[in-house]
Amino acid sequence: MDVGPLTSTISCKYHTLEGPCGPHPPSPYLFLSPFPLHMYSSSSSPHSSVPRAMASPTSLPSLCLSSLFLLLILQCVAGGASSSSSSSSPKATKIGQGYRLISVEETSDGAIVGHLQVKQKNKIYGPDIPLLQLYVKHETDNSLRVHITDAEKQRWEVPYNLLPREQPPALKQTIGRSRKNPIYASEYSGSELIFSYNTDPFSFAVKRKSNGQILFDTSCDESVPYSGLVFKDQYLEISTKLPKDASLYGLGENTQPHGIKLYPNDPYTLYTTDISAINLNADLYGSHPVYMDLRNVGGEPSAHAVLLLNSNGMDVFYRGTSLTYKVIGGVFDFYFFAGPTPLNVVDQYTSLIGRPAAMPYWAFGFHQCRWGYHNLSVVEDVVENYKKAQIPLDVIWNDDDHMDGHKDFTLNPTNYPRPKLLAFLDKIHSIGMKYIVIIDPGIGVNASYGVYQRGMANDVFIKYEGEPYLAQVWPGAVYFPDFLNPKTVSWWGDEIRRFHELVPVDGLWIDMNEASNFCSGKCKIPKGKICPSGTGPGWICCLDCKNITKTRWDDPPYKINASGIQAPIGYKTIATSATHYNGVLEYDAHSIYGFSQAVATHKGLQGLQGKRPFILSRSTYVGSGKYAAHWTGDNKGTWEDLKYSISTMLNFGIFGVPMVGSDICGFYPAPTEELCNRWIEVGAFYPFSRDHANYYSPRQELYQWESVAESARNALGMRYKLLPYLYTLNYEAHISGAPIARPLFFSFPSYTECYGLSTQFLLGSGLMISPVLEQGKTQVKALFPPGTWYSMFDPTQTIVSNGGTYVTLDAPLHVVNVHLYQNTILPMQQGGLLSKEARKTPFSLMVTFPAGVTEGNAKGNLYIDDDELPEMKLGNGYSTYVDFYATLKQGSVKIWSQVQESKFALDKGLIIGKVTVLGLDASGKPSAIEIDGKPVVGVSDVEVSTLEHKYLQEGQDDGMKKTTMVEVNGLNIPVGKNFVLNWKMGA
């Protein structure tokens, strides 16, 4: 059923809330929607806050009205009273006079430790912490850490066992000799970065050693709209000055309507929240307090990054010339990464937080999911229909339809009977297809449920006042596992093992792990009432609950802009005064809940059958990419959401989570046929490519429209040919953090025109996707950075961009423009309907030189392995790595390889069947073709063809000298052996 959205607006003092009031959910706070705070958050599954049992259309207005009153009360109580606390106005009250440095000394390992004393106490947001410890260390040649905490009491930090890193020195009980009123600044220099400080008031700056450029500067005076250093128990503030022309990226997860580049005065709030991705500029499922800063001074580009490793809720105010952090707990633990290239930055960042997880090969195939595959026969039909439509499909998913009463690790005996499910899995596994199901963290409170029984016996749940904290999600009343408890991690791994014995799934999808709760406060199971009833909407709270406001953790003095409306931070989640293992407060650990679940799930999957784990997680934190892939949550089937998906994907590459994608065609409501055509043309090039839809939306599998099926065959057909390249990028990500999908500035940092470009993207360093993102368009205006670009669908079509240019490309409905940059060698295979089959086909190499040059170079690489093995590495006998090189010199073309660990490729019998070279001078045809010094033409099946390039820019055919593409087919070169292929260009 599909009822169009009604729009309502409600005003409460400083807040205006508006949004759709219709049955296609998306958000646990009424945020953009007057549905019961959870309604519009849909997660992408039942595990979304999407309506399970929809109210009838006639009941919608009254439902909306009651919800609006609820929100009005909530806002006036929670938001109105403190509306000024989050103000970014330049007239905002400054807090205190900061701190002075009273002692400093060097440690034995070359760090510095100092002590800071508050200059003047005040009570705004609570009392100041009087004495702080400062610790500064150049931890590597290109990273600097600045750690500031209470000098006398241990404070909450992201657990060192969860995110391994160096520990700062223990707190000192005695403070060194006071240094009275020093008036000079001091410096502490490393290989790439310099830390300098002023003592009174204390401030610090981080400079680039090579050119003296100031990257971070916390000094302030009367003219700036922010305070100096503030450090209270529940309120920390610090700011940095920024040059006007700095381009900033990161600070997510949020949906950024202005594109990938941070936009001055947009709100950036970090606090993991289940509201849907349709909510713009709001804190979504993940928290990544890191930003990259790209500058171009005098034509010299340089990038660096700043991480504030803190898991507490925070607002970050970016004003264009400054950036201010306002954090409600924890410590200041800053890491500065010197770059200077964007790739260097992500390499340095992921070397600290953990390299991205190795993904199995099949994960780069196409995935199909839907919440609402009511029984197994529907799933079987979907798989069969993809095959009939000749659309590639590698993985079929179940949202919670397979479960018994929405309970984790169970099967519905009627709709998904185990014998029939096992027979289905045997069938798809035999051809190489995979099967993944969802699990949510909430464990149903049910005395007959084994998972619950074992959880209670092992005491694994988060507590409130000594008892397991009661919440409600899809099964009804639930308890939440405490993944900071080692016993919970062991119990969770055992439940995964038990479930895998029941159903041999190939991966797990962890959802609703912000954590999402349909209720708020302290709840109990109502007497004489079934919860959930099974007749009303499943996301409506049916427990008996009362608000918890008695502690400063539930009602902190500073209100972050949670959900974009200053919602209470315990609203529709775990009460922030609840406790984890060793007394850790949910207040502190909230944003790492999904991260801790991913770590536990990865550990549980690792032991199964010795295979590489695949995990998809909705909630993420710094370091999540080491364990899980991510999808961008509940999006909408609109042209705007299609466009937003590119920026979010590119951000997650910067965050160290390169395996990312959005629900293709939108999660809800119904996409149009045209939109779904265009979305698969983008989604076919997401690193993680999955179609997923809401229970209440019409079916949108790619075969539902013949036009979409045609676009899917084209776009996914190209993806499956590119699988060797995508998998090699996966290896590069795993060893260096390099994003799979990248903004153009990663490859063209000197070209400032692309700094804000959010409508095109690169796969790797030189494969550019330029999709249609607007309704009714059959052309796309694409930016081409300087150099030569070749169309992947017709390599004779060439664009030579002198200095960078926009080109209008034809893009009829079934066409997506994909171009390959010069100086590249791209390994491809022939594609297929399954990645397992596509892997067996002969390779081809596409070699690109700048059009018409007399001398040129190109290079590429290829990584192949047994992708089921847990580790992705060379040297184990089950992997091969090949570097490819090509030169054009003195009329001769030479292409050769250097193979490491040849055995795996040789054992698999993999061959190169075709080499295509683009951009050659058309003065003559190739002659004297040799492989390893032996002539091939006339003594083998080798065929040579040449085609002239066509130039797409108007008038360029006239000015360019003729160039050709040369294709050498019928080769039989073993991938696992070094080879040299060469020929002369002559008459």
Q: What is the DSSP letter of 85?
A: G
- The question of whether 511 is a catalytic residue gets the answer yes
Other CB atoms within a 10 A radius of the CB of residue 546 amount to 10
Answer yes or no: is pLDDT of 270 > 50. Answer: yes
pLDDT band at 70 (very low <50, low <70, confident <90, very high): very low
Fold of 361-728: TIM Barrel (3.20.20)
Q: Structure pTM?
A: 0.92
**Is it true that 361-728 and 743-984 share their CATH fold?**
no
Answer yes or no: is pLDDT of 82 > 50. Answer: no
Cα separation of 484 and 54, whole Å?
Answer: 36
Residues 6 or more apart whose Cβ sits within 8 Å of residue 632: 253, 277, 645, 648, 649, 652, 660, 661, 662, 663
- Pick from 717, 714, 720, 636: nearest CA to 677: 714
- The question of whether 710 is a catalytic residue gets the answer no
Average pLDDT, whole number, for the chain? 89
Answer yes or no: is pLDDT of 775 > 70. Answer: yes
CB 895 within 8 A of CB 981: yes
Catalytic site residue from 157, 495, 555, 634:
634
CA dihedral (539, 542, 544, 547) in degrees, to 10, reads 20
Q: What is the pLDDT of residue 62?
A: 31
Cα separation of 168 and 333, whole Å?
Answer: 10
Q: What is the pLDDT of residue 609?
A: 78
* Mean pLDDT on 623-649: 98
The amino acid sitting at 249 is Y
Q: What is the pLDDT of residue 747?
A: 98
Q: What is the pLDDT of residue 403?
A: 97
* Mean pLDDT on 335-363: 98
Q: What is the CATH number of domain 98-168+182-353?
A: 2.60.40.1760
> Half-sphere exposure of residue 718, counting CA atoms within 13 Å on the CB side?
27
Cα separation of 863 and 706, whole Å?
Answer: 36
- The question of whether 634 is a catalytic residue gets the answer yes
Q: What is the pLDDT of residue 484?
A: 98
The three-state secondary structure class of 849 is coil
pLDDT tens-digit readout, 569-622? 999 999 999 999 999 999 999 999 999 999 999 999 998 878 999 999 999 999
Q: Give the percent of the chain with pLDDT over 70.
A: 88
Judged by average pLDDT, the poorest of 52-61, 549-558, 651-660, 862-871 is 52-61
Answer yes or no: is pLDDT of 10 > 70. Answer: no
Q: What is the pLDDT of residue 958?
A: 52
- Pick from 323, 93, 325, 113: nearest CA to 231: 325
Q: Please name the helix (run of DSSP H) or strand (run of DSSP E) that holds residue 712, with its range, or none.
A: helix 706-721
* Mean pLDDT on 503-515: 98
pLDDT band at 11 (very low <50, low <70, confident <90, very high): very low
Burial of 3 (0-12, 13-18, 19+ CB in 10 A): middle
- Pick from 389, 476, 436: nearest CA to 833: 389
Per-domain residue ranges of the chain: 98-168+182-353, 361-728, 743-984
Q: What is the pLDDT of residue 533?
A: 76
* Mean pLDDT on 838-847: 98
* Mean pLDDT on 208-235: 96
pLDDT tens-digit readout, 157-190? 999 999 999 999 999 755 554 443 333 458 999 9
Q: Give the percent of the chain with pLDDT over 90.
A: 83
Answer yes or no: is pLDDT of 755 > 60. Answer: yes
* Mean pLDDT on 944-954: 86
Cα separation of 509 and 203, whole Å?
Answer: 45
Q: What is the DSSP letter of 698?
A: P
Catalytic site residue from 514, 732, 865, 967:
514
pLDDT band at 92 (very low <50, low <70, confident <90, very high): low
Residues 6 or more apart whose Cβ sits within 8 Å of residue 759: 259, 643, 646, 770, 771, 773
- Pick from 671, 666, 678, 748: nearest CA to 707: 678
Residues 6 or more apart whose Cβ sits within 8 Å of residue 507: 363, 434, 436, 605, 613, 614, 615, 616
Fold of 743-984: Immunoglobulin-like (2.60.40)
- Strands 6-12 and 767-770, by their bridges, are unpaired
CA dihedral (964, 728, 659, 308) in degrees, to 10, reads -110
Q: What is the DSSP letter of 562?
A: G
- Pick from 400, 403, 624, 427: nearest CA to 509: 400
CB 234 within 8 A of CB 576: no
- Cα dihedral sign for 508, 513, 517, 518? negative
Catalytic site residue from 200, 333, 511, 681:
511
